[in-house]
Amino acid sequence: MINVTKSYLPDLQTYLKTIEGIWQNHHLTNRGPLVQKLEKDICHKLNLNNLLYVSNGTIAIQLAIKALNISGEVITTPFSYVATTTSILWENCKPVFCDINPHTLCIDADKLESLISPATTAILATHVYGIPCDVEKIEALAKKHNLKVIYDAAHAFGVTYKNQSILSYGDISTCSFHATKLFHTVEGGSVTAKDADVFKTLTLYHSFGHLGDDYYTMGINGKNSEFHAAMGLCNLPMLDTLMASRKKSSELYSSLLSGVNISRPQIPADTQYNYAYYPVVFESEKVLLNVKETLFKNGINTRRYFYPSLNKLPYLSETNACPVSEDIAKRVLCLPLYFEIEEEIINRVCKIITVTI
């Protein structure tokens, strides 16, 4: 079976050499030297002022909500992975869904203001598939209404917008380093904050709220291990190569599917994209299901990413309609894309789609 993604793995000997020191210092976790080096190297690579390496991307969002003292209503996108919404719920806040832009599939910044109420404290938006949100409009609106902004940048590692890492936007940006991501540490994630004091709070929160025997605040265990950090240290130098390979494969997809009745999300100007995913939007859900089934019968696995629209989650006590997201979620499919995917596979996928449609 050809899967929709395949995790990049570094040379085994390179990884073994990286973890060799663990057997010498017996420092397995609790912010060891490899974790600290990974944080420093990512900051250098992406030109960030700070970055905290945590256990996963969901914990990253929960830490962000807590560190910014967010309560009440949080305006968010219905078109994202479920962790975006459930993190809001988990922190006892109320998600208010803002529909998406039909071209970028990110939260529609022009629809945000009408959803702001006296209970609104924050905006939590996702850079969907690594495509930047309209960060200028969101920032202006947040300043006008004194709202905090968190970006779920789980898909956006390596993306730059106007020559800045997309992680540098918002009060806090979170990222996921899950094994399925472009850059991964098997399991992991990160938070980066604009304000130095907020970053200190994040650091305390992710490590039980204390430093040594000095206790400052409540906290949780959001730390990650030396073994996970070692995987990140091996993979980080490959980032540009990984993106270049995915770009080449994405361009081949686009060329072969140019005459097919599908649409693709638009990348904003001034964006250096990371080619994390290759989503296509079909004419109808019926066509999508037929294509997906036919590909699967031919040994090719795809993913309805994202489905369903999150405002339709069955455990929401309150929700609101988001017709664009609800429509797109029924028609979008991510095709196989990973480092050095064979051209023959892409040709086969495109041929099946062309014939099936």
**Distance in angstroms (rounded) separating the CA atoms of residues 297 and 289:** 12
Domains, the chain, ordered by start: 12-237 (3.40.640.10), 238-356 (3.90.1150.10)
Whether the pTM exceeds 0.85: the reply is yes
**Distance in angstroms (rounded) separating the CA atoms of residues 275 and 273:** 6
**Distance in angstroms (rounded) separating the CA atoms of residues 321 and 97:** 8
- Residues 191 and 181: beta-carbon distance below 8 Å: no
pLDDT tens-place string over residues 37-69: 999 999 999 999 999 999 999 999 999 999 999
C-beta neighbour count of 269 within 10 angstroms:
7
pLDDT score at 87: 98
pLDDT tens-place string over residues 284-314: 999 999 999 999 999 999 999 999 999 999 9
- Residues 177 and 232: beta-carbon distance below 8 Å: yes
Six-digit token pair at 201?
């709070």
Parallel, antiparallel, or unpaired: how do β-strands 120-126 and 73-76 relate?
A: parallel
Q: Which helix (H) or strand (E) holds 34?
A: helix 33-46
**Distance in angstroms (rounded) separating the CA atoms of residues 282 and 328:** 9
Mean pLDDT of the chain: 98
What is the end-to-end Cα distance of the chain in Å, rounded? 22
pLDDT tens-place string over residues 95-150: 999 999 999 999 999 999 999 999 999 999 999 999 999 999 999 999 999 999 99
